[in-house]
Chains A and B, each alone.
Chain A
Amino acid sequence: MKINQISVFLENRTGQLAEITHLLADNGVDMRAISIAETADYGILRLLVDDTERAEGILRENGNILTLTPVTIVGVPDEPAALSKLLSVLADNGVDIVYMYSLFTHPGGKAYMVFRVADKDKLSDVLDANGISKATKEEIGLK
């Protein structure tokens, strides 16, 4: 039940992002989440899509440099303090978050957070111990 994020190298050039989204759109790939980390000269585009394997193939064929990164997704109620509570649990248990972003769809009325952490097993243990469930692929509409 591994959920993979696609990370794509982006040159800092006008239109580069549009090229990638066009490519995915033309091939009927649906996006679930998108996040960008950038420096002055380049960036990393992080994507969650409905069909990871297909998107990976298309992007590679078109000369993009990418890597698949396992991420953990947690759904929280869409209400004040919900995320704060979750993050407190992680902080109290010493989970080191490398980065985090959210799905732009809200299946079941929940907000879903995508976590990339230094130690994935530790995160899993902490969530289990605190009765917090990880989102499944079905739950968020991934193939």
Chain B
Amino acid sequence: MANYYQPEIETASPEQIRAWQDERLVAQVKHVWDNVPYYRAKMEEKGVTPDDIKSCADLHKLPFLTKDDLREAYPYGLMGKPLSECVRIQSTSGTTGKRVVAFYTQKDIDLWEDCCARAIMAVGGTKDDVCHVSYGYGLFTGGPGLNGGSHKVGCLTLPMSSGNTDRQLQFMCDLGSTIICCTPSYAEYLAESIEERGLKDQIKLKAGIFGAEAWSENMRHDIEEKLGIKAYDIYGLTEISGPGVSFECEDQTGMHINEDHFIAEIINPETGEVLPEGEKGELVFSCITKEAFPLLRYRTKDICVLTREKCSCGRTFVKMSKPMGRSDDMLIVKGVNVFPSQIEQVLLEQGYPANYQIVVDRVNHSDTLEVMVEMTPENFSDNLGQITEMEKSLVAALKAMLGIYAKVKLVAPKTIARSEGKAVRIIDKRKI
């Protein structure tokens, strides 16, 4: 018994979807050529003009965009509409401290929220549901996106934001939340807190929409069992809009990409060559309906597989697997993007050597981030107070850069493991 937000789109024939994509891509390339000088220059450099793009078959002719481009063009260089037409900014962290800022017109927000509404209805959401959104609200896209989607479905929306588990549980019990949206690790934490407090029989949850970090089938089963719900995945990134770029349906075998808005390709991350559907590679998105931030061929760095099989839910959109890894060194910690280069920059600014190690773990269902730094003669003092002060200011600088707490661990010189002269920078101990 499938539940669609926009059935005529979500179950359209593959030919119809392709026709929309062809038409919208051609128009979008013109829009970008006329309004985004940064991308026009890239096209000119490749010797491509809008006349060369007649359908999706020509997509491969267009140049790629990467996070480096976003940094170079920061903040306004990739905008397709004047600021006066924009109504919203969302943001995420970038590679070397510069944040990624994405702009939205009212139409962009509308379409993004449609995508989130599809995701909520795909898990069985209706206007009779109480949708409890525990993603962070603010610059992070998680809260605002699902909040908007929940409104569109007509759910009673609980804009909880993240944190304050006592209040989350109180509202969940008192107001009868039926759908929970949060990170999978927070869902695990909530499940455990519910068990500890013996609240299980007061919980009315039936489904959860979990994203913004990696999770496994094991975690899915664990959450489903502990919370007595069905657990669904959702995928997105700020550059492309936010959560809802793709979403899971009742079949729970991958996430349907909203192909009427985004064209997905899989490429070989080394060569940039487009790979046939079904092969594993880097996911690339082209936004064909966005106005304010119309990225074309944006490399997500997420490694995954696309499959276009008939889905039991009746949706015809292509499905992507859970990301299986990254083609860069980005880490996702507590749902936040963390680049080792950001940590390196802070260390250098604070007078520490760039020899460090990042240890990520998951303790009590919450990610932990530890930065091991080697002590130097310059930073050492016989006075413990002085060292702890320095440590505190390093922790504060890391928090300012990353947006999350990182524990600093000072270690003796030459203790950070090196392999073949190259330091091992990241140790991810999370078992997910």
A and B co-occur in one complex: yes
Interface residues of A (CB under 8 A from B): 5, 7, 9-11, 13, 16, 37-39, 41-42, 44, 46, 63-67, 69, 98-99, 116
Residue in A46, A65, A116 whose beta carbon sits within 8 Å of that of B413 in the complex: A65
User: Knowing A65-B375, A65-B376, A65-B377 touch, does A44 contact B415 (C-beta < 8 A)?
Assistant: no
Contacts of B410 in A (CB 8 A): 9, 11, 41-42
Contacts of B384 in A (CB 8 A): 37-39, 44
New A-B contacts (11) at CB < 8 Å, excluding given A63-B413, A65-B375, A116-B383: A9-B375, A9-B380, A11-B410, A11-B411, A11-B412, A41-B409, A42-B375, A42-B411, A44-B387, A46-B382, A67-B377
**Bound form: Cα–Cα A143–B412 in Å:** 29
15 residue pairs A–B, Cβ–Cβ below 8 Å = A7-B382, A9-B410, A10-B412, A38-B384, A41-B409, A65-B375, A65-B376, A65-B377, A65-B413, A66-B377, A66-B380, A67-B377, A67-B380, A69-B382, A99-B383
Contacts of A66 in B (CB 8 A): 377, 380
Contacts of B413 in A (CB 8 A): 63, 65
CB distance from B117 to the nearest CB of A (A): 48
**Bound form: Cα–Cα A88–B376 in Å:** 38
**Minimum CB distance partner of A42 in chain B:** B410
Contacts of A37 in B (CB 8 A): 384
Contacts of B412 in A (CB 8 A): 9-11, 13, 16, 63-65
Contacts of B383 in A (CB 8 A): 98-99, 116
CB distance from B333 to the nearest CB of A (A): 20
CB distance from A37 to the nearest CB of B (A): 4
The 9 closest A-B pairs by CB, nearest first: A7-B382, A69-B382, A11-B412, A37-B384, A9-B375, A65-B380, A42-B410, A65-B375, A9-B380
Contacts of A9 in B (CB 8 A): 375, 380, 410, 412
Is B84 part of the binding interface, using a Cβ–Cβ cutoff of 8 Å?
A: no
Contacts of A42 in B (CB 8 A): 375, 387, 410-411
CB distance from A70 to the nearest CB of B (A): 10
**Bound form: Cα–Cα A42–B412 in Å:** 9
Number of interface residues of B (CB under 8 A): 18
Is B414 part of the binding interface, using a Cβ–Cβ cutoff of 8 Å?
A: yes
Is B164 part of the binding interface, using a Cβ–Cβ cutoff of 8 Å?
A: no
Is B218 part of the binding interface, using a Cβ–Cβ cutoff of 8 Å?
A: no
Interface string of B367-382 (1 = CB under 8 A from A): 0000000011100111
CB distance from B96 to the nearest CB of A (A): 28
B414 x A67 contact (CB < 8 A): no
**Bound form: Cα–Cα A63–B414 in Å:** 8
A11 x B415 contact (CB < 8 A): yes
A67 x B381 contact (CB < 8 A): yes
CB distance from A105 to the nearest CB of B (A): 21
**Bound form: Cα–Cα A92–B412 in Å:** 40
Is B271 part of the binding interface, using a Cβ–Cβ cutoff of 8 Å?
A: no
Is B419 part of the binding interface, using a Cβ–Cβ cutoff of 8 Å?
A: no
**Minimum CB distance partner of A37 in chain B:** B384
A67 x B411 contact (CB < 8 A): no
CB distance from B398 to the nearest CB of A (A): 16
Most buried by A among B381, B382, B383, B385: B382
**Bound form: Cα–Cα A13–B372 in Å:** 14
**Bound form: Cα–Cα A26–B344 in Å:** 39
B375 x A44 contact (CB < 8 A): no
For window 379-399 of chain B, which residues contact chain A by CB distance below 8 Å?
A: 380-385, 387-388
**Bound form: Cα–Cα A138–B376 in Å:** 33
CB distance from B412 to the nearest CB of A (A): 4
Contacts of B382 in A (CB 8 A): 5, 7, 44, 46, 67, 69, 116
CB distance from B353 to the nearest CB of A (A): 12
CB distance from B308 to the nearest CB of A (A): 52
Contacts of A13 in B (CB 8 A): 412
**Bound form: Cα–Cα A44–B382 in Å:** 7
**Bound form: Cα–Cα A39–B407 in Å:** 14
A39 x B377 contact (CB < 8 A): no
CB distance from A130 to the nearest CB of B (A): 26
CB distance from A44 to the nearest CB of B (A): 6
**Minimum CB distance partner of B407 in chain A:** A41
Contacts of A69 in B (CB 8 A): 382
Contacts of B414 in A (CB 8 A): 63
Contacts of B375 in A (CB 8 A): 9, 42, 65
**Bound form: Cα–Cα A99–B381 in Å:** 13
Contacts of B415 in A (CB 8 A): 11
CB distance from A64 to the nearest CB of B (A): 8
B388 x A39 contact (CB < 8 A): yes
Contacts of A64 in B (CB 8 A): 412
CB distance from A80 to the nearest CB of B (A): 30
Interface string of B404-432 (1 = CB under 8 A from A): 00000111111100000000000000000
**Bound form: Cα–Cα A116–B410 in Å:** 24
Contacts of B380 in A (CB 8 A): 7, 9, 65-67
**Bound form: Cα–Cα A66–B375 in Å:** 10
CB distance from A99 to the nearest CB of B (A): 8
Contacts of A5 in B (CB 8 A): 382
**Minimum CB distance partner of B379 in chain A:** A65
**Minimum CB distance partner of B370 in chain A:** A41
CB distance from B377 to the nearest CB of A (A): 5
